[in-house]
Structure 1
Amino acid sequence: MQTKIIVNPMANKGNCGKRWPQICAELEKHLGPLASAHVAMTRAPNHATHLAREAVDAGYRRLVSVGGDGTFSEMMNGVIADDRPIASDLVLAQLPGGTSNELSRSFGQLSLTEASKAIAMGHTRDIDVFRADAKGYAGGQVTRYGFVLAIVGAAATISWRAQRVPLLKRLGPISYVLMTAFTSLTYSPRPYRIQIDDEAEQHVPMWSLMLCSFDGAGEGLMLAPGADPADRKLDLIMVGDMGRWESLTRIVPNLADGSYLEHAKVSRRHASRITIDSDDMIRADVDGESIGQLPMSVTMLPFHLKVAAVNRS
């Protein structure tokens, strides 16, 4: 199977690019020598999407992202069109090189050796894909395919603030800690209109809303413990009408182990389609990237993507 390696040298504050020789050497131990034609470096945001599409058009059927979940998500968006994969026999893989490597963590292959073995052995696991449609910041509709999570409200504001300031981006995970504290002390719940599957529309105030496919996200957050990334359902978590001090002391410290779900104002259920809107300007985020604002609709798609994974059976 021809393999294309798509490397994001800027992942993890540029450490991925610095470590590429080491990463490449480990990968070659398992796949054999890599020709320069089989390796592509991203040069800008969303470049991995274009590189992935070009690779599939050129006949590659195994695509490996070297970076974090954002790089994998960009690559994945390049192999889906009109809500279906552009080729039926694709295998995707992640070599963990980013700040957040949820796919590798969830599959128990966070080390370069384990991730490289997973690619070489040919075993795969299925993952779900969802489609998110939101209002872009320029006013038009933005469509993004996701695999980890879609978030709105305070959680999306934290992500947006942490990424938009260059100095904070260089701090890596610390930037999210700083912005989480700042946002918790300044962000008030907003009024939402929500429709879940075919149910009647709800009007509820919320601090944040999260749609999770995997159980974790970000750097060490356990947002939806036990979530199944291949059950064709999203774990819908709604953090309700939360005061500022309450969110800072009762929600934020408990995101790492998932115990925030025990709070009386937090609910969790499954959903396959959800539409979210508000009269307020509320940001929307997919797989760690701010895509725009409400209204947003999220729909689980009726197919799985195959991802390289070590066979644990």
Structure 2
Amino acid sequence: MGRVNLENWMLLLNPHAGGGRGKKDLEQIMDLLQKAGFEFELFISTYAQHAIQLTKNGIEKGYRRIIVAGGDGTLNEVANGVLRQTVCDPSEILIGMIPVGTGNDWIRTFDIPNDYKKAIKRIRKGRVFWQDVGQIRARQNGHQELRFFTNMAGFGFDALVAEKANRLKERGRADWFVYLQSLVSSYLSYKTRQVSVVVDGKELRDLIFSVSVGIGKYNGGGLLQAPNAVPDNGLFQVTIIHKIGLVGILKNLPGLFNGRFIKDRRVSVLQGKEVLVESAFELAGEADGENLGNHRFELTVLPKKLQVIVGKKAFPKSQEQAKSEELEGVLLD
């Protein structure tokens, strides 16, 4: 670790992030970067998946250091651009994050402050981490689509919430209540499906409420859906919530914010390198909050694929992990 080279950065900003915060705060972000000594060229994404192409363009121009000013979806697109381009090995690219989004879930695992000035300080310090990336194949608009994700993919109820939240964001909503409103309205319209989840060849088939496949720990604006996820261990954490009623949801609501909901008998937690999620019925899917596919999803973890800048307290251990390691230390003594 050491201070990063401040020259030749690509600043990729999403003006729509955070319900328009990106556009409103553009001058502030640029001013803070300049005061911190960064030399950069500004790239602005203006439509869905534009950041993928902009990332490719920047890499073709010779940029190997990227600052993402946006939310989880913007980071997702930048990662897809890095991994799809053919100019250089993805390991040559370094990514720093300035959070401008609504949910900002990736930063919660990787200890990036939700404050522009402090986030820029993190980038200057240059604590580099090689994180795993998820690869997902899904059928979209009649053809097979390959996508990568950096934080979490969700299927069933999770994906429906993301879809509704995205619609609210498109209308300019940018507060935490976007997720609360989406959560409530999704529950009222959602139907539990018969779903097959295959993790490293072992199948679980049941009436399933939701499936979360995590590299990072959080999604949905701070829900700790994958509390035991470790972003560089080459494994997904798969959290499956079986059929559950309104009483069960309300009972577990506090546990969604501290990870304790996984102790409920209607929740299964698995780990694996490959995951297949499939249903004969329409099943919504999303990756890093971006909607995709509706029936069959094949996921593979790509170990230590992306070079990102993180904070000192990145991906803190869950209570279960901490207790386990503490016990292990006692036994070794």
- What TM-score, normalized to structure 1? 0.90
Q: 1:241 to 1:104 in 2, by over 3 A?
A: closer
Q: Distance in 2 between matches of 1:242 and 1:84?
A: 48
Q: Distance in 2 between matches of 1:190 and 1:101?
A: 29
Per-residue CA deviation, residues 219-244 of structure 1 (Å, 9 max, x unaligned), is 2211122421111111100000212x
Of 87-96 and 234-243, more deviation after overlay is shown by 87-96
Q: Is the 1:168–1:175 contact (alpha carbons within 8 Å) kept by the matching residues of 2? A: no
Report the alpha carbon displacement of residue 183 of structure 1 after superposing the two structures with TM: 2.0
The alignment status of 1:58 with 2:61, answered yes or no, reads: yes
Q: Percent identity?
A: 25
Q: Distance in 2 between matches of 1:169 and 1:286?
A: 21
Gaps of 5+ in 2: 1-6, 315-333
Q: 1:265 to 1:169 in 2, by over 3 A?
A: farther
Q: Distance in 2 between matches of 1:73 and 1:185?
A: 29
Gaps of 5+ in 1: none
Report the alpha carbon displacement of residue 122 of structure 1 after superposing the two structures with TM: 2.9
Aligned to 2:299: 298
Per-residue CA deviation, residues 156-215 of structure 1 (Å, 9 max, x unaligned), is 11111222356765254322211211222332321012221132x332110000001111
Q: Distance in 1 between matches of 2:171 and 2:229?
A: 30
2:49 alignment partner AA: N
Per-residue CA deviation, residues 75-120 of structure 1 (Å, 9 max, x unaligned), is 1100113999744311011111111223333232212223212222
Q: Distance in 2 between matches of 1:308 and 1:167?
A: 29
1:115 to 92, 105, 119: 119
The alignment status of 1:262 with 2:263, answered yes or no, reads: yes
Equivalent runs, 1:122-137 vs 2, <5 Å: 122-136=126-140
Q: Distance in 1 between matches of 2:57 and 2:85?
A: 17
1:78 alignment partner AA: G
Q: Distance in 2 between matches of 1:279 and 1:288?
A: 23
2:199 alignment partner AA: I
Q: Distance in 2 between matches of 1:271 and 1:93?
A: 28
Equivalent runs, 1:71-90 vs 2, <5 Å: 71-81=74-84, 86-90=89-93
Q: Distance in 2 between matches of 1:6 and 1:229?
A: 24
- What TM-score, normalized to structure 2? 0.85
Aligned to 1:236: 238
Q: 1:249 to 1:129 in 2, by over 3 A?
A: same
Report the alpha carbon displacement of residue 19 of structure 1 after superposing the two structures with TM: 1.0
Q: Is the 1:99–1:218 contact (alpha carbons within 8 Å) kept by the matching residues of 2? A: no
Report the alpha carbon displacement of residue 32 of structure 1 after superposing the two structures with TM: 3.7
Q: Is the 1:162–1:169 contact (alpha carbons within 8 Å) kept by the matching residues of 2? A: no
Count residues in correspondence.
307
Per-residue CA deviation, residues 24-77 of structure 1 (Å, 9 max, x unaligned), is 12112223454xxx1111111111110101111111000111011111111110
Of 269-278 and 182-191, more deviation after overlay is shown by 182-191
Q: Distance in 1 between matches of 2:257 and 2:313?
A: 26
Aligned to 2:36: 30
Q: Distance in 1 between matches of 2:292 and 2:23?
A: 25
Aligned to 2:15: 9
Aligned to 2:160: 157
Of 76-85 and 8-17, more deviation after overlay is shown by 76-85
Q: 1:11 to 1:165 in 2, by over 3 A?
A: closer
Q: Is the 2:131–2:303 contact (alpha carbons within 8 Å) kept by the matching residues of 1? A: no
C-alpha RMSD of matched pairs (Å): 2.3
